[in-house]
Amino acid sequence: MTKNILVLHTGGTISMTADEMGHVNSSNDNPMNHVAVELNDFNITTTDLFNVPSPHITEYHMYELYQKIKAIGANYDGIVITHGTDTLEETAYFLDTMNLPSIPIVITGAMRSSNELGSDGIYNYLSALRVAGHPKSLGKGVLVVMNDEIHAAKYVTKTHTTNVSTFQTPTHGPLGIIMKHEILFFQTAEPRVRFDLDHIQGTIPIIKAYAGMGDGILSLLRASHIDGVVIEALGAGNLPPEAAKTLITLAQEGLPIVLVSRCFNGIAEPVYAYQGGGVDLATNGIMFVKELNSQKARLKLLIAINAGLEGQTLSEYIEG
């Protein structure tokens, strides 16, 4: 049976070339459009939706991508999105929380441009096509395929600046692996709440905690000028006392504040009851997010606000 796969190119290193000095830049002619796809019973439809480096990607690009998939995705058996790696995990997470058609959606990219030695773009692209056309990819949410591994959008993160094995899932490991002839899944991501947004807007900064942190930059924040804050707290979810005091004041003014740990592994939870400890913060309205890094926590809060969640409903979603 023929698999009809839609490919949406958005730019990034996978679509770039390096010059004689080794400087990598965008190319008007996407090299992925010239890849010979030698996969039996695959019918590929390709669209260059964007052509931007991933640091240029915003939530508006993510929303436009969602609208495109919502409009035509049901006409296909699977979708592959090529994307720059710097913000790939954020686009993947955003899409994973949207009300998408029930088909495999796979995002991939490259750490080396198309004409660099050891370029990984073509291989990742072909691997993504294989996963998008595989029946066991259904029902597993948005998938990230890189370097022979399949990861869940919710948990995957970029862990190395240049290594081709940069995308990892620290706590859980990959959902599956890609072999020469088979695709194996070991686990399935948990169900997620999905939204059908008709807009996306808002300002939510991310602030990282550090030893000796005072009110500093926090004192410049005004609840009337922003829509929320994400704080990367210390350890299990603790803050220096002056920083905690300022954030608690903002929370009491009605500003949604979401907390994650700055640690690479583990989950933030209210354990310590001293001033600035997690118990103190949670008691005063700061919301603890489970198993998300700060960039995804920001999107979770942004999506929730745009979906109209507030009060107890907002807290239950953020902390769920």
- Cβ proximity of 317 and 308 under 8 Å: no
What is the b/e burial string over 280-290, where b = at least 16 CB atoms within 10 angstroms of the residue's CB?
bbbeebbbbbe
Count of Cβ atoms closer than 10 Å to residue 188 Cβ: 13
Q: Looking at residue 78, what is its pLDDT?
A: 98
Choosing among 3.40.50.720, 3.40.50.1170, 3.40.228.10, 1.10.357.10, the CATH entry for 3-185 is 3.40.50.1170
Q: Looking at residue 195, what is its pLDDT?
A: 97
249 is catalytic: no
Specify the 3-state DSSP secondary structure of 138: coil
State the greatest distance between any 2 C-alpha atoms of the chain, in Å, as a whole number.
Answer: 63
State the pTM of this model: 0.95
Q: Looking at residue 128, what is its pLDDT?
A: 97
**Is CATH 1.10.1060.10 what the domain over 206-319 is classified as, yes or no?**
no
CA gap 304, 2 in Å, rounded: 38
- Catalytically annotated residue among 13, 85, 169, 246: 13
Q: Looking at residue 22, what is its pLDDT?
A: 76
Residues forming CATH 3.40.50.1170 domain(s) in the chain: 3-185
CA gap 30, 12 in Å, rounded: 10
CA gap 8, 73 in Å, rounded: 11
pLDDT tens, per residue, the chain with 320 residues: 899 999 999 999 999 888 877 788 887 888 888 888 888 899 999 999 999 999 999 999 999 999 999 999 999 999 999 999 999 999 999 999 999 999 999 999 999 988 888 889 999 999 999 999 999 999 999 999 999 999 999 999 999 999 999 999 998 899 999 999 999 999 888 888 999 999 999 999 999 999 999 998 898 999 889 999 999 999 999 999 999 999 999 999 999 999 999 998 999 999 999 999 999 999 999 999 998 999 999 999 999 999 999 999 999 999 99
Smallest CA-to-CA distance from 73 within 104, 43, 51 is with 104
Residues forming CATH 3.40.50.40 domain(s) in the chain: 206-319
- Cβ proximity of 137 and 143 under 8 Å: yes
Q: Looking at residue 33, what is its pLDDT?
A: 84
Smallest CA-to-CA distance from 320 within 283, 279, 288 is with 288
Give the CA distances from residue 254 to residues 61, 63, 277, 310, in Å, rounded to whole numbers and listed in that order.
Answer: 29, 27, 20, 10
Q: Looking at residue 164, what is its pLDDT?
A: 95
Count of Cβ atoms closer than 10 Å to residue 162 Cβ: 8
